[in-house]
Amino acid sequence: MSQQQDGPGPLRRSTPVATPRTLRRLKVLSSGRWHAPLDTQRLPLIIAVGSAQAGMGKSIVASNLAAAIAGLGRRVVMVDLDFRAPRQHALFGVPADAGLETWLEKKRTRSDEPGRATPVRNLRLLPSATTPGVPMPLPQRRTLMRELYDLDSDVVVVDVGADNRDDLFGFFAERAVRLLVTTREPAALEATYAFLRSAALRAERVHGNDARAVLARFSGGLVGNAIDAPEQEETFHAFSRMVRGYLGIPLPVLGCLRSSERVVQSVFARQPLIARRGIDDNVGQFHHMAEVVMNDDGAATRDCPLDGDPIDVAVGRLPADIAAYSRKHARYPVDWTATLELPSGVTAVRVRDVSEAGAAVETSTKLTVGDTAMLHLDQLPGRPAIPVIVKNAAPASRRVGLGFAQKGRASARLAAAARAAATNRST
């Protein structure tokens, strides 16, 4: 897992180490907005993890996602930007005596490795302030964001605190992925929607009539936390569809995590779950999220600037009944190998979830809505095959939604197998 060595593979990119780092310039606008340096070939990918309110589990998501990406052979720096309740040093079991302020004050050479080493290979940590509860002033945070793009790493994962949650929108516009963590409790979803509504209002204020076009370039996703059964995942997917419909923000569900005693144990052990012995559904989810984010080639090019002062939106009821956005048939998460027989040839796919109506697969083959194919479930007994039609495609995550062209006994058996597999994993 996270101890994997560097090496060739489809998820790895070559990073020349001996090449001297080049001097980069900053674009500064009269509005005070700053942009990432112009030398984009050497800049790290920034992954900002936040939540609309405290207690959603975003620090645990950030630490384990960072460890999972490090396990892919990428050099990762974890940055704790939670000033009220910094936790990353405790989650990784390292001292927090050298906070961000100390790091910013030092005049570092280009050869310095940022932050502290952690027990996870390829992963270093920049702890938060040494005085918890005292937020870093805004000008200093701007300086910090500039420095993040200059870190000698492949990926920078940032744990954004609830008290400074608006930094998620104000600072991570270019070459960045914004992730929001929430539970399925109504109060949590209402707070998350209000937070996203504030992002939409920012876009209207800054971009006017182009707001929807800018929001369509939003690079990020939703992470659902603390579910107890596979059927509960649909709440997050329904919420994602509602956000897209009302606010125009694409917020795909990247993963859903289960309530687990192993997560609690990892916190007390001061070691990320991903780095401990044993594999469960949550470990698989973190690996999957890491692969999806690192496979998103467009994350480095999409920009969604939402600068300016925060806009507070009162938390209230959701704009519609979330059940109206839920699928008729429950989907069950799986991890099956399969092949997709197209008129142009056969391609391997990875089946991620199944319902009685269809399946979601991951594939590098470009598919368009309306394409027809035969899905061969090579991993299941009897290697069943069922005709499918492409219902939707998300090139960024390489995920394709397939609808069963012939619903009946075969599709019902397939859904039953997925349900049984999900149930067995949860018991």
- Annotate 313-373 with DSSP letters as a single string: ------SS-GGGGS-SS--EEEEEEEEEEETTEEEEEEEEEE-SSEEEEE-SS---TT-EE
User: Tell me, what's the pLDDT at 298?
Assistant: 76
Residue where the block lists tokens 């594939």: 363
> Cα–Cα distance between 52 and 194 in angstroms, integer?
8
Give the pLDDT mean for 337-352: 92
Residue 227 vs residue 411, higher pLDDT: 227
DSSP state of 135: P
Give the pLDDT mean for 84-90: 91
Confidence of residue 9 (pLDDT cuts 50, 70, 90): very low
Q: Is 308 left (phi over 0), alpha (psi -120 to 50) or beta?
A: left
- Highest-confidence range of 25-39, 109-123, 135-149, 279-293, by mean pLDDT? 279-293
CB 363 within 8 A of CB 400: yes
Instruction: Tell how many helices (H) and how many strands (E) occur in the chain.
Output: 11, 14
Confidence of residue 16 (pLDDT cuts 50, 70, 90): very low
The DSSP annotation for 387-409 comes to EEEEEEEETTTTEEEEEESS-SH
Backbone angles phi, psi at 65, to 5 degrees: -65, -40
User: How many Cβ atoms are within 10 Å of 334's Cβ, its own excluded?
Assistant: 24
Lowest mean pLDDT among 4-18, 101-115, 153-167, 251-265: 4-18
Q: How far is CA 348 from CA 294, 295, 325, 387, in A?
A: 20, 17, 31, 16
Give the pLDDT mean for 251-272: 93
CB 241 within 8 A of CB 222: no
> Cα–Cα distance between 291 and 46 in angstroms, integer?
15
Residue 28 vs residue 135, higher pLDDT: 135
The rounded Cα 327 to chain-centroid distance in angstroms is 23
Terminal-to-terminal C-alpha distance of the chain: 23
Q: How many CA atoms lie within 13 A of 85 on its CB side?
A: 11
Whether 105 shows a pLDDT value over 70: the answer reads no
> Cα–Cα distance between 368 and 204 in angstroms, integer?
31
Whether 31 shows a pLDDT value over 70: the answer reads no
- Token readout for 120 is 């996870």
User: Tell me, what's the pLDDT at 98?
Assistant: 64
Confidence of residue 10 (pLDDT cuts 50, 70, 90): very low
The residue length of the chain stands at: 427
State what percent of residues in the chain have pLDDT above 90: 52
- How are beta strands 155-160 and 253-258 bridged, if at all? unpaired
- Token readout for 233 is 């995942």
Residue 117 vs residue 181, higher pLDDT: 181
Confidence of residue 13 (pLDDT cuts 50, 70, 90): very low
Whether 32 shows a pLDDT value over 60: the answer reads no
> Cα–Cα distance between 150 and 299 in angstroms, integer?
18
Residue 124 vs residue 109, higher pLDDT: 124
| pLDDT tens digit sequence for 298-329 | 776 788 999 888 899 999 999 999 999 988 88
> Cα–Cα distance between 280 and 424 in angstroms, integer?
12
- How are beta strands 332-342 and 372-376 bridged, if at all? antiparallel
> Cα–Cα distance between 83 and 130 in angstroms, integer?
9
Average pLDDT, the chain: 84
H or E element at residue 234 = helix 233-247
Residue 28 vs residue 400, higher pLDDT: 400
Q: How far is CA 180 from CA 90, 256, 308, in A?
A: 22, 12, 20
Strand partners, 336: 351
CB 119 within 8 A of CB 168: no
Model's pTM, two decimal places? 0.81
> Cα–Cα distance between 82 and 367 in angstroms, integer?
41
Confidence of residue 426 (pLDDT cuts 50, 70, 90): low
> Cα–Cα distance between 323 and 1 in angstroms, integer?
37
* Domains present along the chain, CATH in parentheses: 45-323 (3.40.50.300), 329-426 (2.40.10.220)
Give the pLDDT mean for 236-259: 94
